[in-house]
Amino acid sequence: MFRLLATRHLPAHRRALHLGHLPNSTSPIVSTLSFFNSVTNATQDKIATFRVLDGVGRPVEGAQLPDVWGLTHSTQIDEAFARRLYENMQLLPTLDSVLYNIQRQGKTSFHMTSYGEEATIIGSAAALEADDEILGQYREMGVLLWRGFSIDSIMAQCFGNQDDTSGKGRQMPVHFGSKKLHFHTISSPLATQIPQAAGVGYALRRTVDRRDRSIAACFFGEGAASEGDFHAGMLLASTIPSPTLFIARNNGFAISTPSSEQYYGDGIASRGPGYGIDTVRVDGNDILAVIAAVREARKRTLEQGRAVLVEAMSYRVGHHSTSDDSFAYRQRSEVEDRKRVDNPIARFRLFMESQGWWNAEEEEALKTRLKADVMQAFKRADALQRCELGELFTDVYGGEEPWNITAQRDELSALLKKYGSTWEPWRTELNRFKNEGRDLMQAQTDA
Ligand SMILES: Cc1ncc(C[n+]2csc(CCOP(=O)(O)OP(=O)(O)O)c2C)c(N)n1
Ligand SMILES: [Mg+2]
C-alpha cells in the first residue's frame, strides 16, 4: 500500500525538499506531472529581445546608453566613438556595392554582402578588444575593418593579387584572415569555426599572459547552427570551461531556407540554457544594443571563464552571395520594407543627428570620401599581378614538402616549358602572374 505524504499544503520548493532528490541530480522532486517547452517562465513564453534605440533612433523607455571604454576608464558613448561606429557602418555597404558590381563584370569570382547586418557586425567588433581572437563565418568583413584592415587589403584578397596578405591569392574572395589582427582565416564549410572557437578559448585559458585578458569570439549564422558542429562546440565550451563568446547572427535566411524552417524552437538563444550557458537575445539592427550586450557578454565570459551566447536578430537584405538571386524565394517588397523600416544605419544616423553629432552635409561628405577611397583601392588592386605562379605549391603543408606536391610542381613546370610561351591561352594567362610564370619555367625539374 502507498503511504501518501501530506505535503500538498506546502509551497512547491518546500515540498520538493521534503521529497528529496536523486543521486547525480539536483533536480527537485515533484508529484505533479508537467511537461515544458520554454526556457522562460510561463508568463513570458518567448525569449525577450534587448533594445536601446527605437526604430527612429530614440532611446526606448528605461534604456541606458552603453559605455565606451578607454585604457583607463569608461564613459558614456561620445561623439568621437559614435562617428567611428557610423563611418565603419557606412564603409561596409560602400565596399559591398563595388565588390558586388565588379564580380558582375567578371573582375572577381565571388562576393557576399553585409547589407542589413552592419550594426550586428560593427557593434560586436566595437565591443570586443582588439586582440580577442575572432573566428568568423564569412560575413564579418566589418570586424576586420574596425580593427584597421585596410581597404587595399580587402581588395587584394578579393582579387587574389600579389598583395593579398590573407592567403597569397589562393582562397576564394571574402575568405579573409589576419594573424596580426587576430582574425582566423575564414573557411567555407559551415560551423567548423564553432568547435574550433571552443578550442581557441581553451588555449587562451591555458596561456598565462592572455588568460585574464582575451576571449575567443565566434560568429555564425542561424543556418550554421543546424550543423552538428554547433552542438559539439557548445558542449565543448560548456563542459571544458573557457572564455568563448558565441555570436549567432540570426538574419532570417540560410541561402533560400527561411529561419522558420531552420528550427522549431525559440531561435538559437533557447539552446544556450540547455548547455548551462548564459544567453541573451539582442536587436541586431540597433548598434547600441549590440555593443551593450556583447560588451557585457564579453565581461562575463572573461570573469567567469565560461562560454556566453548572444543571438543578434537582423534581416539579410542582400542576396546570399553573387551566386544567388533571392527574389526567386522571397518577395521584392518584403526586402524593400525591411530596408526602409528597420535600417540599422538609418537608425543610428537619426540617433547621431538627435545628439547634434551629424548632419546632411557630413553625410554627403562621408559618402563621397568613402566611395572615392574604395574606387581608388579597386583600381590599384585591378592593376596588380597575382603572386608568382610557384606560390601555388607553397604553404600547403607544414614542415618538409611531401612528394606529391613536388611531383605536381615538376609536372606543371615541364608543361609550361613545353607550351607556356607558344600556346596563346597559356601565354595570356601567365601574364597575370608576377614574373609571368618564369619561376616555374626556369626551374630545374626531374621531369
Ligand atoms: C557544411 C556546409 N553545408 C552547406 C554549405 C553551403 N552553404 C553555404 S552558406 C549556407 C547558408 C548558411 O546560412 P547562415 O548560417 O544562416 O549564414 P548567413 O549566410 O545567413 O550569414 C549554406 C547552406 C556549406 N558551405 N557548408
Ligand atoms: Mg542566416
The number of the ligand 1 atom at minimal distance from the alpha carbon of 222 is 16
Place of cell 565596399: 95
Q: Read out DSSP for 64-130?
A: -PPEEE-SS-EEE--HHHHHHHHHHHHHHHHHHHHHHHHHHTTSSS-----TT-HHHHHHHHHHS-T
Ligand 2 center from residue 290 Cα (angstroms)? 17
**Residues 197, 233: contact at Cβ < 8 Å?**
yes
CA proximity to 294, closest of 122, 70, 77? 122
How distant is the alpha carbon of residue 246 from its chain centre?
10
**Rg of the Cα trace of the chain?**
26
pLDDT given for residue 270 in this prediction: 97
**Most informative mutation of 255, 262, 315, 319 for ligand 1 (most atoms within 8 A of CB):** 255
**Residues 90, 112: contact at Cβ < 8 Å?**
no
**Which amino acid belongs to residue 164?**
D
pLDDT given for residue 125 in this prediction: 98
Q: Establish whether residue 161 lines the binding site of ligand 1, counting it when its CB lies within 6 angstroms of any ligand atom.
A: no
Q: Establish whether residue 224 lines the binding site of ligand 1, counting it when its CB lies within 6 angstroms of any ligand atom.
A: yes
Q: Establish whether residue 300 lines the binding site of ligand 1, counting it when its CB lies within 6 angstroms of any ligand atom.
A: no
Q: Establish whether residue 271 lines the binding site of ligand 1, counting it when its CB lies within 6 angstroms of any ligand atom.
A: no
Phi/psi at 133 (nearest 5 deg)? -80, 130
* C-alpha torsion sign, points 388, 392, 397, 403: negative
Which numbered ligand comes closest to the C-alpha of 226?
A: 1
**Residues 68, 81: contact at Cβ < 8 Å?**
yes
The cell for 146 is: 574596425
The cell for 283 is: 536587436
In this structure, the chain runs to a length of 447
Sheet with strand 244-250: strands edge to edge = 183-184, 133-135, 216-221, 244-250, 308-313, 278-283
Cα 323 to Cα 110: distance, rounded to the nearest angstrom:
7
Cα 269 to Cα 38: distance, rounded to the nearest angstrom:
11
Q: Which helix (H) or strand (E) holds 258?
A: strand 257-258
Question: Where do runs of H (alpha helix) occur along 176-327?
Answer: 193-205, 228-239, 259-262, 287-304
Ligand 1 center from residue 227 Cα (angstroms)? 10
State the distance between the two ends of the chain, measured CA to CA, in whole angstroms. 91
Q: Record the pTM.
A: 0.93
Ligand 1 center from residue 50 Cα (angstroms)? 26
Q: Establish whether residue 254 lines the binding site of ligand 1, counting it when its CB lies within 6 angstroms of any ligand atom.
A: yes
Ligand 2 center from residue 219 Cα (angstroms)? 11
The number of the ligand 1 atom at minimal distance from the alpha carbon of 117 is 21
Ligand 2 center from residue 139 Cα (angstroms)? 10
pLDDT given for residue 40 in this prediction: 85
Cα 206 to Cα 87: distance, rounded to the nearest angstrom:
37
Give 10-residue mean pLDDT values along the chain (447 residues).
54 60 88 89 82 94 84 79 97 98 97 98 98 98 98 98 96 97 97 98 97 97 98 98 98 98 97 98 98 97 97 98 97 95 95 97 98 98 96 91 95 95 94 95 67
